[in-house]
Amino acid sequence: MDIMVATLEILKYTIPALVVLISCYLIVRKFLVSEMQRKQLALFKDTQDITMRLRLQAYERLIVFLERISPRLLIPRVYDPSMTTRDLQQVMTMSISAEFEHNLSQQIYVSSNAWETVKNVKEQELNMINRLAQTVNPDGPARDLHARIIEVMQQAEGDIPTDMAIQIISNEVRKVMSIPNM
């Protein structure tokens, strides 16, 4: 009988201790899981903020690229009165290609639609320069090509590829900025 009494005495203290231990374990586990989820959510929010900044900077750089390859800003930057038409053509195409290569990495931060738009505009600008260069004497003064480009741009006032691309990218930026952060 002494063993039975001793066993009951042990169980009298052990069972409540086990219940308290299991309760503490469950409470601490639930607290740690919720704390880990809270930290993961905070980390996700911080990552989203950083990603958003990188995306916006990429869109900014692409707009600067488009502005820089626009003939209205490109010609004054590279034009030299002593150049021939061929020289101006080469300098303009090299400048556009160099600007594009400088901004290649931006494609990982922007949508494929935005990147395709930028690539298409670059090609359109290069094609326009090369096509117009063929309409003037290659050894003639650069002002002939300059005048021809200005003439074409004035005729296409509302349909300038760089302006349309800037509008497309600006609209996309508005969409990106309207997405609520978590």
Give tens-digit pLDDT for 31-61.
888 989 888 888 888 777 888 889 999 999 9
The pTM assigned to this predicted structure is 0.73
Per-residue pLDDT of the chain (182 residues; tens, 9 = 90+): 788 888 888 888 888 889 989 999 999 999 888 989 888 888 888 777 888 889 999 999 999 999 999 998 999 999 999 999 999 999 999 999 999 999 999 999 999 999 999 999 999 999 999 999 999 999 999 999 999 998 988 887 777 889 899 999 999 998 888 855 43
Q: What torsion, rounded to 10 degrees, do the Cα atoms 112, 118, 119, 123 define?
A: 160
